[in-house]
Amino acid sequence: MSHYDVIVAGVGGMGSAACYHLAKRGRRVLGLERFDLGHVMGSSHGLTRIIRIAYFEGEQYVPLLKRAAILWEETGREAGTQLFYKTGSLDIAPEGAGFAESSQKSCLEHDLPHEMLTRAEIARRYPAFTLPARHIANWQPDGGFIASERGIFAHAGLAMKHGAELRFNEPIVSWKITPAGGVEVRTERQTYTAGSLVLASGAWMPELVPVLGRTETIVKQAIGWFGVRKPELFQPDRFPVFILTVDEGNFYGFPLWEHPGFKLGGPHFAREPIDPNNPDRTPSAKQVAAIRDCLRKYIPDAAGDPMTIKGCMYTVTPDEHFVVDRLPEAPQVIVLSPCSGHGYKFCSVLGEVAADLVTKGSTPFDISSLSIRRLAA
C-alpha cells in the first residue's frame, strides 16, 4: 500500500492547483483523476473562463480574486506560458436590477478602479452591443479571462516538476479515516493512504461527501462559439469579458481568442439536471436557442451560425456560494468544491488555500462564509 502526505481527489481546475501548491511546499502528493488530463467531462474545458475582480456575487470574494489574479500571472511565468489575459470586465444589467450596482459596491468596498457606464457610453466604447434603454454597466479594468485548459496543464506540469505523482483514468471508489488519524483511499486499481485528503472532484463531490449529496444540484450549462460579421469589434484589445443580464437571462461572453468564433454561455439560470456519470454532455436545443436569441438581439454582429457547441457542468449549492472547508467530522479532509458555476477563476488561489489548510492548519483569507456547516444547518 503506497503512502503519501496528501492525496488530491480530482486533477481538474481546483485539484491541479492544489497538487501544485502542496508539492511546491515539499509535500509528497498523489493526484487521482477519473478521466484524462484536460478532459471535457467536467467544468473547466472550453478554452477560456472569465476572471472578474469586481464581483456582484459578494464583496467577500474580492480578496481571493485579487490574490487569484496575481497567482495566475505568477504560475504562467513559472510554466512559461500566458494564463491571464487582461481585457477589462463589464457587468451589464438593467438599472435597479442590482447586478451592476452590486459589482460597483464590491469595487467601492475594496478600492478597485471602476466606472459606471450608461447605455450610450457602453455603445460608444463597445459598438458590438445593442442594449435596451435601461441598461447600465460597471466597468472594471483588471478583469479578463484565464486560458482554462492551459491553466490545468500548467498546474499539473508544475506539480509534477515539484515531485507530485499524478494518476489518470483512475476513479476513486471510496475513502475512510484510518485508526492512526490519516485517510485511506480506494480506487478501481489499488488502495493508498495519506495524512490528509483534498476533495476537488467537482460534480462527483456528492459521491464522496454525504452532506453535499443531500444539498447540491448537478446541472448542465451550454457554451457556444458563433460566426462573426465584424471580427474587428471583438478583438481582446478592444472588447472586454462581460456578464449580460437581460429579460432572457444571464449570459457571459469573451473577446475572440484562438477559436475563430465568438464565445457566449448561458443562460445562467436555465439549468438542466444531469447525472455526471452520463457521458452525454450535449446541450439541449432550448439552451442553444436561448444563446442564439441573445446574440441576435443584443450582439448581432456575433449572431452567425454555430461553429462549436459544448456543455459543461455546474455543481450548485442552495445559496450558490462555494464550499471550502475542513470536514467537521474529519479535519484532515479538505473540501475544495462545489463552486456553483463561478469557481474556475479562483482555482489558483483556492489551491493555495488548500495548501495552507493542510500545511499550516489555517489560511489568511476569511473563508468563514464558505463553510460546509451552513449546508447542514
Q: What is the pLDDT of residue 109?
A: 97
User: Which cell numbers hold the place of 364?
Assistant: 489568511
Q: Name the nearest CA neighbour of 135 among 246, 243, 52, 242.
A: 246
Whole-angstrom distance, CA of residue 271 vs CA of residue 254: 21
User: Which cell numbers hold the place of 339?
Assistant: 463552486
Q: What is the pLDDT of residue 270?
A: 75
Q: What is the pLDDT of residue 138?
A: 98
- As a whole number of Å, the end-to-end CA separation of the chain is 38
**Positions of the chain with pLDDT lower than 70, given as ranges:** 377
Beta strands in the chain (DSSP E): 2-9, 29-32, 48-51, 84-86, 89-94, 115-117, 135-140, 144-147, 165-167, 172-177, 183-187, 191-199, 217-226, 241-246, 249-253, 262-265, 272-273, 306-316, 324-327, 330-336
* Total Cβ atoms within 10 A of residue 69: 22
User: Which cell numbers hold the place of 50?
Assistant: 472569465
Residue at 256: amino acid letter = L
Do residues 308 and 261 touch, judged by C-beta distance below 8 A?
A: yes
Q: Is 73 exposed, middle or buried, given 0-12, 13-18 or 19+ CB atoms closer than 10 A?
A: middle
Whole-angstrom distance, CA of residue 176 vs CA of residue 314: 26
E strand or H helix at 100, and its extent? helix 99-109
Residue with cell 483569507: 365
Q: What is the pLDDT of residue 141?
A: 98
Q: Name the nearest CA neighbour of 203 among 10, 369, 7.
A: 10
Q: What residues contact 205, with CB distance under 8 A and at least 6 apart?
A: 199, 212, 216, 315, 335, 337, 338
Q: What is the pLDDT of residue 377?
A: 65
Rounded alpha-carbon distances, angstroms, from residue 257 to 111, 235, 244, 361: 30, 8, 19, 40
Reported residue count of the chain is 377
